[in-house]
Amino acid sequence: MRTLDEDLRRAAATAPDREAVVAGERRMTYAELDAAATRLAAHLHALGVTRGDRVALLLPNGAEAAVAIYGTLRAGAAFTPLNPTIKADKLAYVLRDCEAVALVCDEVLSPVAQEACEHAPGVRHRVAPEDLRPPGAGGGADALPHPPISVDLAAIVYTSGSTGRPKGVTLTHANMAFAADSIVEYLAMTADDRVLCVVPLSFDYGLYQLLMCVRVGATLVLERGFAFPGRVLELLEHERITGLPGVPTIFQLLTSAGGGLAARELPSLRFLTNTAAALEPGAIDALRTAFPGALLYSMYGLTECKRVSYLPPDRLDARPQSVGIPIPGTEAWIEDDAGRRLPPGDVGELLVRGAHVMQGYWNDPEATAARLRPGRWPWERVLATGDLFRADDEGYLYFVGRRDDIIKSRGEKVAPREVEAALHAAAGVRTAAVVGVPDALLGEAIVAYVVPDDGVTLQPAALRRHCAVHLEDYMVPARVELRGALPTTPNGKVDRLALTEEAVTSC
């Protein structure tokens, strides 16, 4: 059993001059990443951060984020990766919830960090990017505390909960190392791989690209998000990228923007991976036309166990809508409400067992009990995903729907209650309801229905602006509709189904 930090030490010892992280103009070797991680660990140690403490990371994709992750782990602490577009209220909540003692943040974000820290007195230290550079001389490794072991906490990754409050998924080194190994195995990753990561490292999909590359000593090319298809195509070619992880929104933007794709030959590109939402058959065809030499992996997962399943690329033609089979070393099956395993074809809840299953939600035994159930052995707990699935005769899994009202937009989870709470806080709003409607580009588009207070005139644009100020970018409603009243069910609750139907037909 190993810790994540051992992967970096090994990569740095095996191939010190190999590129670990490429971000913009910055090219960092494994030796440099290793030295910078040691420096940060020593710095954190000197600040009084000790084994098991939580360090929150508020950084855009870049070499600093990689240093911050491994430096925190090397200090024996656990990291909490945060979306760089997080706003002060939620940041303060998360900092308090995970009891972070330090916050590593980018200069651009510091006003948000400043405001949040005023409401999170437990955060004793702020670490700026200049502390994340490789050292000029001297290591300081001798000053490091006793290293963590594999059962220690490695990360708390926050995910949207249907209550509207984010929940902290707790993961040990063993959890994360196992999940990384399993994915490395089915993607057949080696030190020769060069992965282009345009999804944020604060999203576990992005985070694992780093963990997997470091595990095998491969190179990770990091971009601050996916904004410019031309930039991505240029990187694919010039950086000789072998693997491109994406979500349907990204792949659609990449294949639909203008011409020019077919003109490029990308002999290095070996695989594409898709998760967060299914690719439509048309999108699969477009990807195969644009990248004829690359294998396409359809996958499914949730932060609570990182990844559940993958579809071997040679099964894609026969089962284009399946998310495949459990990842290596794990099991998944479908149960009814009474906990009985269901035969092929029947729809029920998907359950998962394996060393990747989280330890629970931080500080939330109730939510933990709802997701982690007694397993095959007295010590084992299995994960109830909350998602409805069916399996075919050969065990291939098919996503059917969600049990809660969580919206998936741009590959990210959005709790309607979180968006509604932001709208309720806006002046002149009597009530608001938020639903997701199918959208070719977004997966689901967020639509908000707002009832103004009597005599008040509200502007949809102003309400969207209010949301943009208080919520992460991906949570801002695509549309805001004003209503005199909201439809209700016979027992007086907002009728979400009726609103969803209305939103779909009015598109």
Partner 1 sequence: MGETEQVDTGLRAQLRAYVEEAFLYLHPDVELADGDRFLELGVIDSLGFVELVEEVQDRYGIAVEALEITEENFGSIDALVAYVERRRTS
- Contacts with partner 1, residue ranges (CB under 8 A): 85, 108, 224-231, 233-234, 249-250, 253-254, 257-261, 410, 441-442, 461, 464-465, 468-469, 473, 476
* Alpha-carbon span 420 to 256, nearest angstrom: 33
**199 vs 383, which CB is nearer to partner 1?**
199
Instruction: Tell me 492's DSSP state.
Output: S
Smallest distance, partner 1 to C-beta of residue 476, A: 7
* Alpha-carbon span 140 to 248, nearest angstrom: 44
* Alpha-carbon span 388 to 404, nearest angstrom: 10
Residue 190 burial (C-beta neighbours within 10 Å; 0-12, 13-18, 19+): exposed
* Alpha-carbon span 57 to 34, nearest angstrom: 18
**191 vs 253, which CB is nearer to partner 1?**
253
* Alpha-carbon span 31 to 167, nearest angstrom: 36
**226 vs 271, which CB is nearer to partner 1?**
226
Residue 68: which region, alpha, beta or left (left: phi > 0; alpha: psi -120 to 50)? alpha
**176 vs 294, which CB is nearer to partner 1?**
294
- Count of CB atoms situated within 10 Å of the CB of 144: 16
Smallest distance, partner 1 to C-beta of residue 226, A: 5
**225 vs 375, which CB is nearer to partner 1?**
225
Smallest distance, partner 1 to C-beta of residue 29, A: 26
**258 vs 484, which CB is nearer to partner 1?**
258
Name the 3-class secondary structure at 321: coil
Instruction: Tell me 16's DSSP state.
Output: T
Smallest distance, partner 1 to C-beta of residue 502, A: 23
Smallest distance, partner 1 to C-beta of residue 479, A: 13
Query: Tokens for 176?
Result: 């994360």
**461 vs 485, which CB is nearer to partner 1?**
461
Smallest distance, partner 1 to C-beta of residue 442, A: 8
Question: Residue 78 forms beta bridges with which residues?
Answer: 54
Smallest distance, partner 1 to C-beta of residue 141, A: 35
**257 vs 388, which CB is nearer to partner 1?**
257
Contact by Cβ (8 Å): 367, 101: no
256 CA to centre of own chain: 24
Q: Please enumerate in sequence order all residues whose Cβ is within 8 A of that of 437, keeping only pairs 6 or more positions apart, or say none.
A: 444, 445, 447, 500, 503, 504, 507
Smallest distance, partner 1 to C-beta of residue 84, A: 8
Smallest distance, partner 1 to C-beta of residue 234, A: 7
Smallest distance, partner 1 to C-beta of residue 263, A: 8
Where is 67: in which H helix or E strand?
helix 63-74
* Alpha-carbon span 139 to 141, nearest angstrom: 5
- The DSSP result for 381-418, as a single string, is EEEEEEEEEEE-TT--EEEEEESS--EEETTEEE-HHH
**212 vs 250, which CB is nearer to partner 1?**
250
**258 vs 378, which CB is nearer to partner 1?**
258
Query: Tokens for 371?
Result: 């997701």
Distances (CA, A) of 497 to 494, 501, 506: 9, 6, 14
